[in-house]
Structure formats: structure tokens, C-alpha cells
Amino acid sequence: MSNNVTNKITLCGFAVSNYYNKVKLSLLEKGVAFDEAFVLTSQKDEMLAESPMGKVPFLRTPQGAITESQVITEYIEEAWPEPALYPKDLFKRAQCRELIEHIELYLELPARRLYPEAFFGGKVSDETKKEVERDLGKGLKSLARVVRFAPFIGGDSFTHADCAAWVHLPLVGQATKKIYGRDFLDEFLPAAKPYLKTISERPHAQKVNADRKAGMEAFMAAKK
């Protein structure tokens, strides 16, 4: 532990959220002690006081809340440098962060536009479906150029990029399968599925997954 960080941190959000689970897996893999608090997204004042966009996750620290999963990830890595979940080499570290940015900006965010219909019984316009189809094709083809899967997404060590890939990529596959009848992961990045399976076998990933399944009921009940 370093940089004035006391050991009391609380991850706030819910276990169905992919961004929440990205941070949770990083914390577990690093062996950082943390509490969890069930918080739903909202635009209520008390929520906005901690998370100005009303989003989850956010991290409660003794000094206040921190939002944005990637900012939280960087905070955790600086506060608890060991075991490192970024490569030591500066260039490789940048490449690792590049993978995370790529997955979130060019895959998760476009795929998210499909979630209302793919997962929540809503409707998405044909125009949106067309745009997302184009954007995801481009994002996946370009990701295929930079991934290693050897055996981890960036090479031979497990990093924060694996935490991000493991929570986000399955949603891209599931949402596209639902909306287009084609799983874009299988189509554009066939090596992703065996890779994701390997990550899923890690004990901490199993814990996150079990909590996600258990959390689904609480989430659905609270959403009603």
C-alpha cells in the first residue's frame, strides 16, 4: 500500500454491471481488501453527489468517491502496485491500456446501444442496428489486429486488459446474436471464445460470475 491510501475502500454498484465486474475482478486478482455496496444507477441527488453521471461503478475511498471504471483501475494500481496488473515495460503498458480503450470505445459502447432490445425487452431502431453493425464490424476487425491471446489478451501475463475483455466481450457476442442472429465474436474474432473460457476458469473470475448470477435476481427486483 502506498500514497496515503488507507485500506478502507468500497466498490459501489451492482454485480450485473460489466463495468462494476471489471473493477471487481481487478481488485480480487490484486488481492486488495474491499467492501461492496449495492447501489443502482440513478439521477437522485444523493447518488449524483458521489457519481455525478449517476453511473456505476464508483469507488468510495476515505477521501471521497471516484467514478469511471478505468480511473478506478488506475487508482487501484497506483495505490497497490503489487502484484502489478500492468506490464513493467512502458511501451507494453501503453499497449495494454490501448486494448482497454479499444474494447470500451469501439466495442462495448456501440454494443451498449443494442442492450435495451437485446437484454431488457425494449426496442432499438433499424437505423441504430445498422450503425452498430457497421461500428462493431470495424471495431472487431481492428481489435483482431492487436490481440495476442498468448494466452492472455496482451501476451503472456494477466493484466487489467483481461479484466476488461472478460466482462465486455461476451456482451458483444450475446447482443449481436440476439439482434442480428449472428454472433459477431465468432465471426470476426473466433479466438475470443476459447480465450474467454480460460479466463472464466480463474477462481476470481468464477467468484465474479457466481455473484453476477446471484445478483441478477436482486437487480431485476430492484428495477421493477
Chain residues in the site for ligand GSH (CB under 6 A): 17-19, 41, 54-57, 68-70
Nearest to ligand GSH of 29, 104 (CB atom): 104
Q: Which helix (H) or strand (E) holds 13?
A: strand 10-13
Residue 191 CB, shortest distance to ligand GSH, in Å, is 25
User: Could you tell me which of 196, 101, 200, 106 has the C-alpha nearest to residue 153?
Assistant: 196
Nearest to ligand GSH of 30, 113 (CB atom): 113
Residue 204 CB, shortest distance to ligand GSH, in Å, is 19
Nearest to ligand GSH of 91, 120 (CB atom): 120
For 200, half-sphere exposure in the C-beta direction (CA atoms, 13 angstrom radius) is 13
Nearest to ligand GSH of 104, 188 (CB atom): 104
Residue 41 CB, shortest distance to ligand GSH, in Å, is 4
Residue 104 CB, shortest distance to ligand GSH, in Å, is 7
Looking at beta carbons, which residue is closest to ligand GSH?
Answer: 55
User: Cα separation of 46 and 171, whole Å?
Assistant: 30
Nearest to ligand GSH of 68, 74 (CB atom): 68
Residue 16 CB, shortest distance to ligand GSH, in Å, is 8
Q: Across the strands, what pairs with 37?
A: 12
User: Cα separation of 144 and 195, whole Å?
Assistant: 13
| Distance (Å) of CA 103 to CA 36, 92, 109, 123, 161 | 25, 17, 8, 24, 9
